[in-house]
Amino acid sequence: MQIKVVIAGCGGRMGKILLECVAQADDLVLHGALEHGGSTLLGNAVAAGVRISADIESALQGADVLIDFTRPEGTLHHLEICRRLKVNMVIGTTGLDAQQKAKLGAAAQDIGIVFAPNMSVGVNLVFKLLETASRVLSEGYDIEIIEAHHRHKVDAPSGTALGMGEVVARTLGRDLAKVAVYGREGVTGERDPSTIGFATVRGGDIVGDHTVLFAGTGERIEITHKASSRATFALGALRAARFLQVNEEGLYDMQDVLALK
């Protein structure tokens, strides 16, 4: 039995890749495709019997899962409707604040939600590797996170970079909100060894590069992931959709999906 998928923001960069990946999957079928009310794409056919719509209520009727890589305000609006209609969600939206994330947890009492700053299988393996590296390199190593994305990305640091920082901070018993340094300029003084630094690059069509640098005396350890295609994120999202089809209500991440916990 095929999983009925609705894609939010289907006209965007990620949305287009998701449409292609769903079309190529034997166990998934496109049930609906959503865009905002002012989109010039409304009414365009994207699959047999499926046209791009702004009517989320109609699009979700009979659906199994909504895949959402939009923006926080849109995702939270979709969340309310999915919860009411009992439609699961795969959320790759970045830039959500603590209060918005809490709303995901509340909705997960009624529906299944996979929420991850990055759906890539490789990135989520890196998260696991960072736990080990952080434990081994807990003393004597300065930690910096460098990320690069295309010129159109609207939030910084990326959700993935922040996710990496959270993994490292949690493993080291630190509060990322207290130890993160997001920019340096002028006379900053010596580096506080407890801090975790972030550097952001924006330019061109970079899909997504992330490096966590552990800099010690006489050596550097770098754990790097480079994405060359958004298909890696889309394929991870489809794995998440399959995961929700066989799991109960709750808030999950890609570590759950990939059985890395």
Structural domains counted in the chain: 2
Phi/psi of residue 93, nearest 5 degrees: -65, 135
Which CATH number belongs to the domain containing residue 78 in this structure?
3.40.50.720
- Tell me, yes or no, whether 91 and 142 share the same domain: no
Q: Is 200 helix (H, G, I), strand (E, B) or coil?
A: strand
- Tell me, yes or no, whether 15 and 111 share the same domain: yes
- Tell me, yes or no, whether 240 and 217 share the same domain: no
> Could you say which of 16, 103, 128, 153 is catalytic?
153
Q: What is the pLDDT of residue 217?
A: 98
Residue whose C-alpha is closest to residue 13's, from 162, 149, 201, 164: 149
Query: For this structure, is 153 an active site residue?
Result: yes
Q: What is the pLDDT of residue 200?
A: 98
Q: What is the pLDDT of residue 95?
A: 86
- Tell me, yes or no, whether 91 and 63 share the same domain: yes
Residue 187 makes CB contacts below 8 A (sequence gap 6+) with none
Q: What is the pLDDT of residue 117?
A: 80
In the block, residue with structure tokens 């926080």: 72
Contact at 8 Å (CB) between 114 and 252?
Answer: yes
Question: Is the omega angle on the peptide bond into residue 157 within 30 degrees of 0, that is, cis?
Answer: yes
- Tell me, yes or no, whether 222 and 245 share the same domain: no
- Tell me, yes or no, whether 99 and 195 share the same domain: no
Query: For this structure, is 77 an active site residue?
Result: no
- Tell me, yes or no, whether 53 and 83 share the same domain: yes
Q: How far apart are CA 117 and CA 16, in angstroms?
A: 19
> Could you say which of 4, 78, 149, 225 is catalytic?
149
Extract the residue ranges of the chain whose pLDDT is less than 70.
none
- Tell me, yes or no, whether 9 and 43 share the same domain: yes
Contact at 8 Å (CB) between 30 and 5?
Answer: yes
- pTM of the predicted structure, to 2 decimals: 0.83
**Domain extent at residue 34:** 3-115+230-257
Which CATH number belongs to the domain containing residue 128 in this structure?
3.30.360.10
- Tell me, yes or no, whether 81 and 178 share the same domain: no
Residue 40 makes CB contacts below 8 A (sequence gap 6+) with none
